[in-house]
Structures are given as structure tokens and as C-alpha cells.
């Protein structure tokens, strides 16, 4: 006959003590402090890359539009149909955004083309010649601000790493690398795309947009 010893079974499972919980919370807080900056930096870099890609797409669309206008014999001068007060016509801006394939309308998007004259001011088309005329259809620089307060994305002579144009634009001329142009090229002014998300002043007054790029963003002279 086997006798069963019915002894009381004592469970060995225990909950966390207060000290152990505090240690776990401290570890989690430390990990959050270490990982959060890296995660935020990753998000910022992703946003920056997206803005740069949008700016590149718009720049390509602007240059393509200028090439088409050149082919049609349209003159890139503030006194012609190309712009109205240095703001591109609404339909041309709409074409640019459509062809760029971007879903956003930037806060400010201004670009600089060459002036066909060899001095600051409106060029003389009759005397410019073909080489001079072509300058007016080439985008040498662009400033793109996607949302108010965001860091500007700057294009300059094939370079997307510039942080300002103040060092290359002086006295109405833009200094360019030798592989782009020999000596400085005079610029007409900054053209701005219409239908951006800036205030109404920016939509109807190119100079207000330029002034903000100078006063607030410090990227143009």
C-alpha cells in the first residue's frame, strides 16, 4: 500500500518588487533617451530628402518649360508674356507642378535665369545674338521652401548642397563655375512660381517672396 503524502504546495511565482520595477523603468528611459534623437534625426533626414526630391522634380519641369518656350520663340523677360511682375503665368506654373508630379505646393519657389544683356537690366533682344538669348532660358539657381519655416533647398549650377546664394549673387550677377560659364552671368531677377502656399502677397508680389528669403532665411543678398 502506497501512502501519498499530501503536503501543501507552495507556489514559487513572485511579482516584481518595487525596486525591480524602478530599475526597468530607468532602463527604458535611458533607451528612449538614446534612441529618440536617432529616430528624430532619421525622420528629419527623410523629410529633407523628400523636399530635395520635390525641388529637383520642379526644377526639371521649369527647365523643360523654358526649353519649350525657347523653341516657341517666347522671350524670357519681365516685359513679355513670360512673366507678370516676375511671377510666372498661372497656366505655366500649373504646367510645371503637373509635369513635376509633386503633390505639394511649396511656400516659396523662386528661380534665377540669365539676363541676355551683358549688364544688369533688361536686355536688348535685337542685339543679344543666339548665345546671349539662350542665357534667359537656363536656370542657374533656385530656392525652394516647401513649408513656412522649413530649411530652404538651394540649387546652384548643378550643386544641391549650397546653404546660401548670397556669396555667388552680387550686383545683379551670379558667379558660376568655369564648367558652366566663363565669368559671371547677369540675371534678370528671381521668377516665382504661382499657386504656391505662401500668403497672398507671395502669390501676387515676387518682391515680397524675395524679401522674405533675404530677411528671414538669409539665403539671397
Residues 6+ apart with CB under 8 A from 123: 77, 115, 116, 117, 132, 136, 188
Please report which confidence band the pLDDT of residue 37 belongs to, taking 50, 70 and 90 as the band edges. confident
Domain ranges of the chain: 40-215
CB 47 within 8 A of CB 90: no
Counting Cα atoms < 13 Å in the Cβ hemisphere of 76 gives 31
In this prediction, residue 200 carries a pLDDT of: 52
Q: Which of 120, 118, 73, 67 is nearest to 95 (CA)?
A: 67
| 186, β-bridge pairs | 173
Q: Alpha-carbon torsion 126, 127, 130, 135, what sign?
A: negative
Please report which confidence band the pLDDT of residue 59 belongs to, taking 50, 70 and 90 as the band edges. very high
SS3 143: strand
Please report which confidence band the pLDDT of residue 87 belongs to, taking 50, 70 and 90 as the band edges. low
| 83, β-bridge pairs | 88
Largest CA distance in the chain: 125
Percent pLDDT > 70 in the chain is 70
Amino acid at each position: 500500500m502506497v501512502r501519498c503524502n499530501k503536503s501543501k504546495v507552495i507556489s514559487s511565482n513572485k511579482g516584481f518588487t518595487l525596486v525591480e520595477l524602478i530599475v526597468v523603468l530607468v532602463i527604458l528611459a535611458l533607451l528612449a533617451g538614446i534612441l529618440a534623437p536617432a529616430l528624430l534625426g532619421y525622420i528629419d533626414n527623410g523629410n529633407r530628402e523628400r523636399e530635395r526630391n520635390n525641388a529637383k522634380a520642379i526644377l526639371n519641369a521649369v527647365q523643360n518649360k523654358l526649353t519649350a518656350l525657347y523653341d516657341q520663340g517666347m522671350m524670357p523677360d519681365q516685359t513679355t508674356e513670360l512673366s507678370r511682375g516676375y511671377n510666372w503665368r498661372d497656366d505655366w506654373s500649373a504646367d510645371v507642378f503637373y509635369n513635376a508630379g509633386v503633390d505639394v505646393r511649396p511656400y516659396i519657389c523662386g528661380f534665377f535665369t540669365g539676363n541676355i544683356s551683358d549688364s544688369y537690366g533688361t536686355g536688348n533682344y535685337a542685339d543679344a545674338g543666339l548665345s546671349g538669348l539662350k542665357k534667359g532660358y537656363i536656370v542657374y539657381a533656385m530656392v525652394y521652401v516647401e513649408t513656412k519655416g522649413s530649411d530652404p533647398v538651394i540649387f546652384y549650377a548643378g550643386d544641391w548642397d549650397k546653404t546660401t546664394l548670397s556669396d555667388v549673387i552680387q550686383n545683379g550677377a551670379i558667379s558660376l563655375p568655369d564648367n558652366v560659364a566663363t565669368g559671371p552671368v547677369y540675371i534678370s531677377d528671381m521668377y516665382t512660381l504661382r499657386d504656391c502656399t505662401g500668403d497672398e502677397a507671395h502669390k501676387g508680389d515676387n518682391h515680397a517672396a524675395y524679401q522674405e528669403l533675404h530677411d528671414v532665411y538669409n539665403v539671397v543678398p
